[in-house]
Amino acid sequence: MRTAPFVSTAPALLEVRRLSVNLGPVPVLSDVSFTVSAGERVGLIGESGSGKSVTALAVIGLLPEEMSATGQVRFDGEQLLSTSERRLSELRGNRISMVFQEPMSALNPLMRVGKQVGEVLRVHRGLRRAQARARAVELLARVGLDDAGHQARAFPHQLSGGQRQRVMLAMAVACGPSLVLADEPTTALDVTVQAQVLVELRQLVDEEQSSLVLISHDLAVVSSLCDRLLVMYGGRVVESGATAELLARPRHPYTAGLVATSGAVSPDRARDGRALPAIAGTVPELGSFPTGCVFRSRCDRADEHCELPPVLAGGDHQVACWHPHTHDAFGGPLETPAPGGATVDSGAPR
Amino acid sequence: MSSSLAAPLTPTVAGVGPGEVAPGATSFLARLVRNPSALIGTLVVGAIVAVALLSLVWTPYGPVTLSSHVLARPSLGHPLGTDEYGRDELSRLMAGARVSLYSGVFAVVVASLVGIPAGLAAADLGGLASEGIMRAADLLFAFPALLAAVTLAAALGSSTTTVMLAIGIASVPYFARVTRSAALGVLSSEYVLAARAYGRGRLAIVRRHVLPNIAPTVLVQSSLLFSVAILAGAALSYLGLGTPPPSSAWGLMLEDAQHNFLATDPLLSLWPTLAIAITILGFNLLGNGTRDLLDPRLRSR
């Protein structure tokens, strides 16, 4: 069993402080702060448009040119936001690597997959073509590709979605990185393959003793893998805490909604024929989030307090909300959200 | 061909599991045969290249050898007849293929040597550099190619090379534009982002990811320019500006035959016309077929 260093005394491997990203005048991320310790697995969860992917791209320095970032991203003590492109290239793929959502489009369609895995090693380890090819086959075998020697000669379109994502994993761990950023690595895959790829990912980061930042909109995916969760909404972190704690006692109304919706499919519910719970409303367009609390346009607890921005506060379990849910010692909710027009169901899965 | 049918039934063939396609299972030849446009284009272009090469070492008669058989009708001795100086039409056509191919190659090389790097630079650098390059291309584009060829021929003396230099330069904007737009598409793809995420620098990305992926588009453009250049070359020698006599450029042959013998001996006009038309058709077909042929994603169809 690995011990999850939730409150770590060691200096954080990745420290993001007050990271803000703007697209022209429009804020995409606002004051995002979090840390990832060595070997820790952190989940970033939220709906599309919540800023999860932008956070990852900002960390690795690959924001689109039209976006600008301010704040601090410290990796192993090095401030990445102000570092040179050359230095970033040395780190990328070597000490920080990234797994993308759609393995079909993230692999060069004209390059055999073995060669693409070898590319990472040729860039960072200076391997020659033949050495890189041999190492690539080993790596492909390690991520569970059958008959890796043969498959290494395949083009991406000749592999299945799961196989392609395994190739991406092989590329991500090729140099034994300290930090792996996985952006929705299983979203594009079949449900049955999802689980296999997640297990593979977990094994690889364990073996390499890498830290993992796993980005997903799927609470089940992140909670199965991560020590700690950050819930994002509207470009802000609205709640963070240890996975078990956060799932059992969600405090932010948005998190509570997420937990309720992900616990939606149950035999009880199927029998009762109750409507599936949903979080009311839709994510606003970028730039049209309300002032103050970004969630207040969809929140049934919102009142005049919420016109001021709440601050992320608390000890190990932080929440940015003026009216957070409170829970008794046994994990049950003391108060339930007013039914109102919202269908947000209360309570955490036990 | 048969492997694509047999594979699902016998999954152990060549050690390939079910649902997987053996890399390179369908050979280049097999794909060529299933692509009529590419096949016919390849055959026609191949034949023209073969004839041009053959003409270096052998033609039935010398292409400029005079004889007393003036304006002979097609016969066993002269399959396509002779012209007004008794020169063998077939021999002249064969030698003319060489001139045509040379003009195409020269124009394409000039256009791609300048146009492709310019397009790549515009796509990769973006911003002001891109604006500068593309506006310069627009400027060049606005200058009529034939006028440029006429001017250059007047200045440097008319020869195949000067004329094709002009055609090549005039085609630079086409290459720059096609390259830039194709490269922009590739540069915004996720696999380029992924390549940056594993530490590849800009130049290496252009070389290893952008170039191979835009190659089919650029090759199609090349083969189209090839036919444009051959046509322009023929037109200019027809106007007396390109290849000077007594060379047997097809445009020159056509001008002579059409001017003097269209009514009395129309076959003399037909041969060079056919040669020009078939060559251009061949390159156009090849250009259309090339794209599909080079795309590995289409291989397993």
Cβ contact A214:A185 at 8 Å: yes
Contact B193 A147 (CB under 8 A): no
Q: Specify the pLDDT at position B297.
A: 67
Instruction: Say what percent of chain A tops pLDDT 70.
Output: 87
Q: How many angstroms separate the CA of residue A155 from the nearest CA in chain B?
A: 7
Q: Specify the pLDDT at position B155.
A: 87
CATH of the domain at B65: 1.10.3720.10
Residue A75, pLDDT above cutoff 80: yes
B268 φ, ψ to 5°? -60, -30
Residue B149, pLDDT above cutoff 70: yes
In chain B, residues with a C-beta closer than 8 Å to the C-beta of A90 are: 199
What distance in Å separates the CA atoms of residue A58 and residue A29, rounded to the nearest whole number? 10
Question: What are B199's two structure tokens?
Answer: 């530490």
Domain for residue B6, yes or no? no
Q: Specify the pLDDT at position B199.
A: 92
Question: What are A133's two structure tokens?
Answer: 């090819």
pLDDT tens per residue across span A6-50? 554 567 899 999 999 999 899 999 999 999 999 999 999 988 888
Q: Specify the pLDDT at position A329.
A: 53
More confident residue, A40 or B252: A40
Confidence grade of residue B298 (pLDDT, cut at 50, 70, 90): low
More confident residue, B297 or B119: B119
Residue B46, pLDDT above cutoff 90: yes
How much is the average pLDDT of B275-301? Answer: 79
In chain B, residues with a C-beta closer than 8 Å to the C-beta of A187 are: none
Confidence grade of residue B10 (pLDDT, cut at 50, 70, 90): very low
In chain B, residues with a C-beta closer than 8 Å to the C-beta of A154 are: 20-21, 23
What distance in Å separates the CA atoms of residue B170 and residue B192, rounded to the nearest whole number? 32
Q: Specify the pLDDT at position A254.
A: 92
Residue of A nearest to B186 (CA): A108
Q: How many angstroms separate the CA of residue B8 from the nearest CA in chain A?
A: 14
Q: Specify the pLDDT at position A10.
A: 61
Q: Which residue has the tokens 């290893």?
A: B208
What distance in Å separates the CA atoms of residue B65 and residue B67, rounded to the nearest whole number? 7
pLDDT tens per residue across span A242-264? 999 999 999 999 999 888 887 65
Q: Specify the pLDDT at position A265.
A: 55
What distance in Å separates the CA atoms of residue A347 and residue B79, rounded to the nearest whole number? 95
Order of strands across the sheet with A318-319? A96-99, A179-183, A211-216, A41-45, A228-233, A236-242, A318-319
DSSP single-letter state for residue B176: H
ipTM of the complex: 0.83
- The structural domains of chain A, ordered by start, are 14-226 (3.40.50.300), 250-317 (no CATH)
What distance in Å separates the CA atoms of residue A263 and residue A304, rounded to the nearest whole number? 31
Confidence grade of residue B8 (pLDDT, cut at 50, 70, 90): very low
How much is the average pLDDT of A167-174? Answer: 95
Confidence grade of residue B67 (pLDDT, cut at 50, 70, 90): confident
Identify the burial level of A105 via C-beta atoms within 10 angstroms of its C-beta, where 0-12 means exposed, 13-18 middle and 19 or more buried.
middle
How much is the average pLDDT of B134-141? Answer: 91
What distance in Å separates the CA atoms of residue A261 and residue A348, rounded to the nearest whole number? 10
Provide the domain limits for residue B103: 34-298
Q: How many angstroms separate the CA of residue B3 from the nearest CA in chain A?
A: 15
How much is the average pLDDT of A273-288? Answer: 77
Q: How many angstroms separate the CA of residue A273 from the nearest CA in chain B?
A: 40
Q: How many angstroms separate the CA of residue B136 from the nearest CA in chain A?
A: 25
Q: Specify the pLDDT at position B53.
A: 93
Contact A112 B191 (CB under 8 A): no
pLDDT tens per residue across span B69-93? 777 777 877 878 787 777 888 889 9
How much is the average pLDDT of B94-112? Answer: 91
pLDDT tens per residue across span A91-137? 999 999 999 988 889 999 999 999 999 999 999 999 999 999 999 99
Domain for residue B23, yes or no? no
- pTM above threshold 0.90: no
- Of A110-124, B2-16, B116-130, B138-152, which gets the smallest average pLDDT? B2-16
Cβ contact B121:B129 at 8 Å: yes
Q: Specify the pLDDT at position B250.
A: 87
Residue A1, pLDDT above cutoff 80: no
Among A108, A111, A215, most B C-beta atoms within 10 A, so best to mutate, is A108
Residue of B nearest to A146 (CA): B17
What distance in Å separates the CA atoms of residue B52 and residue B58, rounded to the nearest whole number? 10
Question: What are B298's two structure tokens?
Answer: 């289409």
Contact A171 B199 (CB under 8 A): no
Residue of A nearest to B22 (CA): A154
Q: For chain A, what is the mean pLDDT?
A: 86
Domain for residue B17, yes or no? no
Segment A20-23 long-range contacts (CB within 8 Å, at least 24 positions apart): A20/A69, A20/A70, A20/A71, A21/A51, A21/A54, A21/A58, A21/A63, A21/A67, A21/A68, A21/A69, A21/A70, A21/A235, A22/A67, A22/A68, A22/A70, A23/A66, A23/A67, A23/A286
How much is the average pLDDT of B173-180? Answer: 94
Q: Specify the pLDDT at position A328.
A: 62
What distance in Å separates the CA atoms of residue A250 and residue A289, rounded to the nearest whole number? 23
In chain A, residues with a C-beta closer than 8 Å to the C-beta of B124 are: none
Residue B259, pLDDT above cutoff 90: no
Q: Specify the pLDDT at position A264.
A: 55
Count of structural domains, chain B: 1
Q: How many angstroms separate the CA of residue A97 from the nearest CA in chain B?
A: 6
- Of B23-32, B77-86, B188-197, which gets the smallest average pLDDT? B23-32
Q: In sequence order, which residues have a C-beta less than 8 Å from that of residue B214 and are 6 or more positions away?
A: B179, B182, B183, B186
Residue among B21, B190, B198 minimizing CB distance to A92:
B198
Contact A124 B300 (CB under 8 A): no
Q: Specify the pLDDT at position A333.
A: 53
Among A62, A101, A110, A169, most B C-beta atoms within 10 A, so best to mutate, is A110
How much is the average pLDDT of A187-201? Answer: 89
Question: What are A76's two structure tokens?
Answer: 């192993």
Q: Specify the pLDDT at position B14.
A: 39
**How many alpha carbons fall within 13 Å on the CB side of residue A174?**
36
How much is the average pLDDT of A132-153? Answer: 93
Residue of A nearest to B298 (CA): A157
Contact A60 B198 (CB under 8 A): no
Among A57, A158, A164, A168, most B C-beta atoms within 10 A, so best to mutate, is A158
Confidence grade of residue B176 (pLDDT, cut at 50, 70, 90): very high
Q: Specify the pLDDT at position A350.
A: 38
Instruction: Say what percent of chain B tops pLDDT 70.
Output: 89
Residue B3, pLDDT above cutoff 90: no
DSSP single-letter state for residue A347: S
Residue among B16, B189, B198 minimizing CB distance to A105:
B189
In chain A, residues with a C-beta closer than 8 Å to the C-beta of B297 are: 109, 155, 157
Contact B213 A92 (CB under 8 A): no
More confident residue, A269 or A286: A286
Confidence grade of residue A269 (pLDDT, cut at 50, 70, 90): low
Contact A98 B194 (CB under 8 A): yes
Q: For chain B, what is the mean pLDDT?
A: 82
- Of B60-64, B87-91, B169-173, B294-298, which gets the smallest average pLDDT? B294-298
Contact B191 A119 (CB under 8 A): no
Q: Which residue has the tokens 């973006």?
A: B126
